[in-house]
């Protein structure tokens, strides 16, 4: 057990067998029905960066995406950001579309499924 794992706010009550804050997580094996880490990505990344973990406290897929993003040129990053802005939700009511990014996606989908549409006109699928 290392200091990075102990720095996690959920450390005392966590039942996850594989912790992304464990510097030797790559040596461990997880079964499909085992509990996964529920800590938010930003918290894991902050702790992982502080303790200089090899994958910065990220899961394998998160770390792979992080590496791919960092390999892109600034021009490519700007193009991707612009595409995201174009596909943001447009509101048909007075509800603030930026609330979508604040609330959890599951509760928001249930709450606002008929309120928002993609710019292409397709409804959100839950």
Total number of domains constituting the chain:
2
- The number of beta carbons lying within 10 Å of the beta carbon of residue 109 is 15
pLDDT tens for residues 76-110? 988 888 887 776 654 444 545 545 444 444 454 55
126 assigned to some structural domain: no
How many whole angstroms separate alpha carbon 48 and alpha carbon 71? 20
Instruction: Check residue 15 and give its pLDDT.
Output: 84
Q: Is 39 contained in some domain?
A: yes
- Entry pTM: 0.59
47 belongs to a structural domain: yes
In the 8-state DSSP scheme, what is residue 119? T
Helix, strand, coil distribution of the chain in percent, nearest 5:
45, 5, 50
Can you name the residues that pair with 117 across neighbouring β-strands?
A: 90, 123
- Are 61 and 10 in a shared domain? yes
pLDDT in tens, 22-69: 888 888 888 888 888 888 999 999 999 999 988 889 988 889 999 999
Domain membership of residue 50 as a residue range: 3-71
């Amino acid at each position: 057990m290392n200091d990075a794992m102990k720095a996690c706010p959920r450390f005392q009550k966590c039942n996850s067998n594989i912790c992304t804050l464990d510097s030797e997580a790559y040596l461990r094996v997880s079964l499909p029905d085992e509990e996964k880490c529920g800590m938010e990505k930003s918290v894991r990344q902050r702790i992982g960066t502080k303790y200089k973990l090899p994958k910065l406290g990220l899961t394998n897929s998160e770390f792979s995406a992080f590496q791919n993003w960092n390999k892109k040129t600034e021009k490519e990053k700007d193009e991707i950001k612009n595409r995201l802005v174009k596909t943001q939700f447009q509101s048909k009511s007075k509800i603030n579309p930026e609330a979508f990014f604040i609330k959890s996606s599951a509760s928001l989908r249930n709450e606002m499924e008929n309120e928002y549409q993609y710019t292409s006109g397709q409804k959100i699928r839950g």
